[in-house]
Structure 1
Amino acid sequence: MHADLSRSTFRPERHYSAVIAQQGRVQLDADANEQTAIQLHQARTLAADLIGPHGGPVDAAGFRIDYVGGKHDIDTLYIHGGRYYVDGILCDADRPAPGIPVPDEDSEDTKDAADSTEQETAAPPAFWTYWDQPDGFRDPEKPGDRLPSPAQTPFVVYLKVWERSVTAAEDPALREVALGAALPDTAARVKVVWQVLPLSLAELAIEEPEPSKDVVRAAFERWARGRAAPSARLAARSERPDHADEDPCLVKPDARYRGPENQLYRVEVHAGGAAKDATFKWSRENGSVVFPVDELDGTWVQLASLGHDDKLDLDVGDLVEFTDTAYASRLEPLPLLRVEELDLPGRRVRLSAEPAPGVGRLPHLHPFLRRWDHHEGPKRKGRSTALKGGAVPVAEGEWLPLEDGVEVYFAKGGTYRTGDHWVIPARTATGSVEWPADPVRRPLLRAPSGIARHFAPLALVKGEGGAVDLRLGFAPRAGSIPAADEATLAAEEQARRQEQEQEAEADPSGGRSQTTAAAEAAVEGDE
């Protein structure tokens, strides 16, 4: 998550069930965030155990798919409202009501206008479409976004679910305006992103022209399993750099991490693919330094603010990512641009190139700049590695220096996905980074901290009106409790007595041992 965090401490393998606050102690963001993560993990694990990998309530299951061929327009899908769970994560496809505006007071017939407006706007649409789904941001001008033609071959419609962070840069309603513009925003949010997407049968390795539901579900499960688990692995360490003696007074002489402040480094995959094609970027602030954009004019960008202090501002030479909500949701890499010039009075920056077409031009998509802190690739054989698209090329099997003694290592044979990331806390108190190691202090390779991707099949589209439903459903487990009237209670009491009498007849000793029963009989005879 791109948020201003101290560190992330939740580890499911530790089996913690709660965070306990202690009196008189400093309260940290990591503690509160871990409590939230624990509760989410418990709730979603329980839901997945009860429901299965995916499913919806039979009376309110969402994401029913209808294919609509475009006779005079492009093809689309109708995505019907309701709820659906994927790996325990709730996905809500209900379309919110647009709301009813206040009628114009100058209208001659205000009452009739109000009644007409209420009839037109009170009922929410029953479905989303493939093109206007809230987090899909599909573009009809991009051939890769268009639906396949079911007349040529059937295709599967599936649900992709993941989570991303949202700050006040994207949702201004999160900012408390009473705090003033001079202060930073407060808490960020985590959003469940669901996207309905097409998938060809060839990608599922299905050769049958008319596959059954079971065949499609089994093939989809294999496909999803291969994409849900990332193969990339990374390790981190801190090593005393060669130039450490040049600044002996800044930090402890024996410190391996030479930074003057505590940091949370974020290493994030920029362009995915095999190692020869993949690139990464890194930030010492977990990628949380963002600047909302007010206006774009060629290479000049006017910002709402240039930062709150010297640590969180922009300088000439910084690399930035010009993006918006749509591209952040699509997880598509954009070229990183360099800040070439600053206009402080006008809150403007000039970038090294004009941002990509179609990005940041629509104000309702909340364009913003995200600062990254690398300036060049790691040095090899005394020379710096050239950047690729503004990002650092991935080099596997060797330690790559970031800054101030922090180094990362990519394991060989990994496949990289845009958005996957690792976070590395660096602390001045220890002069090191916090990273798991084996008993001889060798750093351990770890899978990415995110992004966790989840998938579920929805339908097999064979043509207009021919979508085969692949969803699963579950019924409520609770049932009605019968009324406890006097007749029922009397019948239950009589049944208990009959059961006791039958047990007594079957076992005259009443469950006692033979010795005890004989002794009691002898006593009764003496009496």
Structure 2
Amino acid sequence: MHADLSRLTFRPERHYSAVVAQQGRVQLDADANEQAAIQLYQARTLAADLIGRHGGPRDAAGRDIAGFYIDYVGGKYDIDTLLIRGGRYYVEGILVDATRPAPGVPVPDEDAHDEDTPTPPDRWTYWDQPDAFRDPERDRLPSPAQTPFVVYLNVWERSVTAAEDPALREVALGAAMPDTAARVKVVWQVLPLSLAELAIDTTDLSKDVVRAAFDNWAKKQSLSSGRLAARSERPDHADEDPCLVRPDARYRGTENQLYRVEVHAGGDAKDATFKWSRENGSVVFPVDELDGTWVQLASLGYDDKLDLDVGDHVEVIDTAYSSRLEALPLLRVEELDLPGRRVRLSAEPEPGVGRRPELNPFLRRWDHREGPRHKGRTAALKGGAVPVTEGEWLPLEDGVEVYFAKGGGYRTGDHWLIPARTATGSVEWPTDPARRPLLQGPAGITRHLAPLALVKGEEGAVDLRFGFRPLAGTIPPADEAALAAEAQARREEQAAEDPSHGRSQTTAEAEAAVDGGV
């Protein structure tokens, strides 16, 4: 997540069940965030174990009350669409809610005439679903008359700060203060998938066949195959600044940092690019207005460390851009107008981003300037980002280096986090017993996928969801006759197992002798 963090410490393989605060100790964001991550992991694991990979609730009578029931609506005079029923659904333990919020009721104007208020829609459609931001020019649905297609649910998570959701900011703290906590948002998107991508024979489109093919496809989509390692190496110019850090320090930065290496453009190594930030991509600047290459900002930063400077690369972002996981060119800051809180960029931002105030546009600063110098050569930037080079250690800054494993596949949004600490003069990264850095998969983004329907055109949509009933049920009232029969059966069973009825052997023999004498 893009947030101002010290580090992320949650590791499920360590099997910690809670974070225990100790008296008189420094409170860190990493501890509080790990406690939240532990609880979330436990809750989602339990839900997935009970429900399965995906499923929605049914009521006690078995009626379907789950969300994401799909209706296909062919457009005779308009474009085709899907109707998405509201309600809850679970994908790999993650709660996904498609309930459409009801609009508020305003206070009527005194002079206004009574008018019938139109009934708001109770279902989302393919085109207005809240997190997909579909473009009618690029994202039209396939024609089921030509070939059926699968509708599936794509679920993932991203961070949201006050730059994107101003309601998170406590205005009582004043505009000069930074924001407080960030949020993590569950993003859901209902998307089409052709049968060709599932490698399905169209002569057999049973539910089991489609679900099995989708599961095989989903396993390949959840995580990318890119792997990265990080280390710190004392750079050649270290002797030029011996007074700033320890002479033997491999990490030469003067402050603790959380480096974020994030894939910008995905694909194979020849096409992929990456960007990096020493602040985990948390340095952002809300946009007030775009005017060509000039951008009016709400603020130019809080200090020299978190401001903008000529030569910085920035990404123009809004809610739609973040949800679509696009990779538009990064732009360079060419000029600053400090009194006017304006910056001039190297090019005008793309038409589809940053121009709708309701989507809360902002600039995100990245800290690379040009391709990393390595072995006497400098790699040119591509689209404002650094080209991925596999099989070599690539320097970032201050002794921090990264290594992309050969043969990887990369997706926009894949990222790795690298804490760097001045106390150790090194970075925190897992190593083997010989202290060699270990290759790691990305920390995110993890996609959770579930099939919803198979659209067959005039035949309608075949429901591919799963459902589950409540575990709890009514307790039947006590039946006195049944209880008495059960008690008698238990007594007879005990008598058969223990003829002495619990008495000692000596007592039983004495009683038998008395009975015989009588």
Q: Which residue of 2 is the match for residue 55 of structure 1?
A: 55
Q: Does residue 135 in structure 1 map to residue 140 in structure 2? A: no
Q: Secondary structure at the match of 1:274?
A: coil
For residue 126 of structure 1, report the CA deviation from its aligned partner.
2.2
For residue 189 of structure 1, report the CA deviation from its aligned partner.
0.5
| Superposed counterparts of 1:86-485, under 5 Å | 86-107=91-112, 112-113=114-115, 116-117=116-117, 120-121=118-119, 124-142=120-138, 145-464=139-458, 466-484=460-478
Distance 2:331 2:497 in 1: 89
For residue 384 of structure 1, report the CA deviation from its aligned partner.
1.2
For residue 482 of structure 1, report the CA deviation from its aligned partner.
2.1
In structure 2, what residue type is equivalent to 1:21?
A: A
For residue 381 of structure 1, report the CA deviation from its aligned partner.
3.0
Deviations 1:379-404 (A, max 9, x none): 13312110111111111111110000
For residue 483 of structure 1, report the CA deviation from its aligned partner.
3.0
Contact 1:239 1:407 in 2 (8 A): yes
In structure 1, what residue type is equivalent to 2:103?
A: P
Deviations 1:270-315 (A, max 9, x none): 0111111111100000000011111001100000100011000000
Q: Does residue 64 in structure 1 map to residue 55 in structure 2? A: no
Distance 1:294 1:369 in 2: 11
Q: Which residue of 1 is the match for residue 19 of structure 2?
A: 19
Q: Secondary structure at the match of 2:197?
A: coil
Q: Does residue 499 in structure 1 map to residue 490 in structure 2? A: yes
Deviations 1:116-142 (A, max 9, x none): 44xx35xx5221110100000000122
Distance 2:508 2:93 in 1: 64
For residue 489 of structure 1, report the CA deviation from its aligned partner.
4.8
In structure 2, what residue type is equivalent to 1:99?
A: G
Q: Which residue of 2 is the match for residue 39 of structure 1?
A: 39
Q: Which residue of 1 is the match for residue 86 of structure 2?
A: 81
Distance 1:522 1:469 in 2: 74
Q: Secondary structure at the match of 1:451?
A: coil
For residue 520 of structure 1, report the CA deviation from its aligned partner.
4.1
Q: Secondary structure at the match of 2:483?
A: helix
For residue 17 of structure 1, report the CA deviation from its aligned partner.
0.6
How many pairs were matched up?
Answer: 509
TM-score (norm 2): 0.96
Unaligned ranges ≥5, structure 2 = 59-63
In structure 2, what residue type is equivalent to 1:503?
A: Q
Contact 1:67 1:465 in 2 (8 A): no
Distance 2:369 2:426 in 1: 23
Q: Secondary structure at the match of 1:496?
A: helix
Contact 1:68 1:464 in 2 (8 A): no
Distance 1:230 1:428 in 2: 32
Q: Secondary structure at the match of 1:416?
A: coil
Distance 1:179 1:35 in 2: 27
Contact 1:66 1:465 in 2 (8 A): no
For residue 102 of structure 1, report the CA deviation from its aligned partner.
1.1
Contact 1:54 1:85 in 2 (8 A): yes
Contact 2:55 2:467 in 1 (8 A): yes
TM-score (norm 1): 0.94
For residue 9 of structure 1, report the CA deviation from its aligned partner.
0.4
Q: Secondary structure at the match of 1:342?
A: strand
Distance 2:472 2:157 in 1: 31
Q: Percent identity?
A: 81
Deviations 1:323-365 (A, max 9, x none): 2110110011010000000000110000001111211111111
Q: Secondary structure at the match of 2:34?
A: helix
Q: Secondary structure at the match of 2:394?
A: strand
For residue 498 of structure 1, report the CA deviation from its aligned partner.
3.3
Distance 1:397 1:510 in 2: 81
Contact 1:136 1:329 in 2 (8 A): yes
For residue 73 of structure 1, report the CA deviation from its aligned partner.
1.0
Structure 1, 326-335 or 377-386: larger mean CA deviation: 377-386
Q: Secondary structure at the match of 1:55?
A: strand
For residue 525 of structure 1, report the CA deviation from its aligned partner.
5.6
Q: Which residue of 1 is the match for residue 3 of structure 2?
A: 3
For residue 229 of structure 1, report the CA deviation from its aligned partner.
2.8
Q: Secondary structure at the match of 2:10?
A: coil
Deviations 1:496-517 (A, max 9, x none): 13321233035424589xxx63
Contact 2:374 2:394 in 1 (8 A): no
